[in-house]
Amino acid sequence: MLDPKYLRNDIDETATRLASRGFSLDVDTFNQLEEKRKSLQMRTQDLQNDRNVRSKSIGKAKAAGEDIQPLMAEVGKLGDELDAAKEELGTLLEQINKLSMAIPNLPADDVPVGKDESENVEISRWGEPKSFDFAVKDHVDIGAGLGKGLDFETAAKLTGSRFVVMRNGVAKMHRALSQFMLDLHSNDHGYNEMYVPYLVNTDSLLGTGQLPKFGADLFHTQPATEEGQGLSLIPTAEVPLTNIARDEIFAAADLPIKMTAHTPCFRSEAGSYGRDTRGLIRQHQFDKVELVQLVQPEDSNAALEELTGHAEKVLQLLGLPYRKMLLCTGDMGFGSHKTYDLEVWLPAQDAYREISSCSNMGDFQARRMQARFRSPGAKKPELLHTLNGSGLAVGRTLVAILENYQQEDGSVVVPEVLRAYMGGLEKLG
């Protein structure tokens, strides 16, 4: 959620900046609602005050043994007027809130303006895509060859499309990857390892911004409407991890708070029919090791660089070539202020594909969550800044390893750093 002050005082400027990311803010409607809100709220509060004063005087009159009948008759009339005003105000505030919650974050000044992913800017590359002297296979064929190590048919029988069953060495490597990532981030990068619920309530989803706009992307255990408090499967550990800060006031000295967790993620992938239908790239259920940081506002820019570096480190240690992209305004996520994507090299696709997304959300989520901190001298608590990033998506990392480490005979070399997690195994197949 944006600072309401922007919307009241600088709405035109705000609308311009939002337009750069493809969101059109209905300025006229907003101004009208805002004007109405102002007068209605003032009137309601005046009435309220009036009633409070009169009610108090009834108490005093009663204590003094005076006749309170005339006083009570007077206040009675006030009550109806007040109730009507309150109800009208309530509806109006709800309307404004609904609009506000659907407005995306403002992009940072250094985010390139662009309409879609084609205008993202490449920042850097690491590693050389390996040249193969045989016809490369994609991860689906490699996995199938490893004793049905990746088995989409069986998963389709059990559940449906976009699910997978893994076997033996491939399943082991999948597990090894998440262990390796968790250890790296908790031992070397200073994150607290966390275990969190995979089901969350609607308050949490509102807090990080999945709701109210993107309910269709989630799996719900019951219909989660405005009035229903159905639990939903997490689409990312960002939701439970970040919401740990919801309604909390931290001491400034406690920040930054760095947390990492390995969880499955569940996404309905509504609207992505026909895209990435083959293989592990786009699944309804996938594992991810998530990085979350809660920092003071002045530190969030540096924290984004640091956090992205932590995700990059995973790729470097695994020896996977990648490039770092700065997302343009049109391709950023709803709550993001600035986002880097890491794209790993996939030989079979002859392309770089997203494997991590690292974002500075600024105070956007913190405002929705009322996540704050208090500085020693400061009178008021301030909103903190939240950041999150994948460090990394485990399934896609597995894809990258299968494809980049494949051998002509169909076997796959296990990257050095994973061997300790796989009983010293050096090769699959």
Partner RNA sequence: GGAGAGAUGGCCGAGCGGCUGAAGGCGCUCCCCUGCUAAGGGAGUAUAGGGUUUAUAGCCCUAUCGAGGGUUCGAAUCCCUCUCUCUCCGCCA
Look up 37 and say whether it is catalytic: no
Q: What is the DSSP letter of 354?
A: E
Q: Identify which of 324, 315, 325 has the alpha carbon closest to the alpha carbon of residue 399.
A: 315
Q: Does 43 bind RNA (CB under 7 A)?
A: no
CA distance 260 to 390: 10
Nearer Cβ to RNA, position 41 or 316? Answer: 41
Number of residues that bind RNA (CB under 7 A): 32
Give whole-number Cα distances, 291 to 37, 185, 205, 311, 360, in Å: 40, 8, 18, 8, 12
**Contact residues for 416 (Cβ-Cβ < 8 A; gap 6+):** none
Candidate list 81, 88, 269, 354, residue with the active-site label: 354
Main-chain phi, psi angles of 130, to 5 degrees: -75, 140
Q: Does 76 bind RNA (CB under 7 A)?
A: yes
Q: Which x/- pattern, by CB under 7 A, does the window 344-383 give for RNA?
A: --------------------------x-x-x----xxx--
Q: Does 230 bind RNA (CB under 7 A)?
A: no
- Helices 394-404 and 300-318 cross at an angle (nearest 10°) of 40
Q: Does 129 bind RNA (CB under 7 A)?
A: no
CA distance 421 to 415: 11
**3-class DSSP state for residue 305?**
helix
Candidate list 282, 323, 374, 419, residue with the active-site label: 282
**3-class DSSP state for residue 392?**
strand
Candidate list 357, 367, 368, 403, residue with the active-site label: 357
**3-class DSSP state for residue 28?**
helix
Nearer Cβ to RNA, position 45 or 168? Answer: 45
Instruction: Pick one of 29, 32, 49, 221: the residue that binds RNA (CB under 7 A).
Output: 49
Identify residues 382-401 at the interface with RNA (CB under 7 A): none
Give the nearest distance from C-beta 3 to RNA in angstroms.
9
Identify residues 241-300 at the interface with RNA (CB under 7 A): 249
Look up 267 and say whether it is catalytic: yes
Give the nearest distance from C-beta 52 to RNA in angstroms.
4
Look up 357 and say whether it is catalytic: yes
Q: Does 228 bind RNA (CB under 7 A)?
A: no
CA distance 38 to 27: 16
CA distance 262 to 146: 26
Give the nearest distance from C-beta 335 to RNA in angstroms.
18
Active site residues: 267, 282, 354, 357, 396
Residues that bind RNA (CB under 7 A): 4, 8, 38, 41-42, 45-46, 48-49, 51-56, 58-60, 62-63, 68, 72, 75-76, 79, 249, 370, 372, 374, 379-381
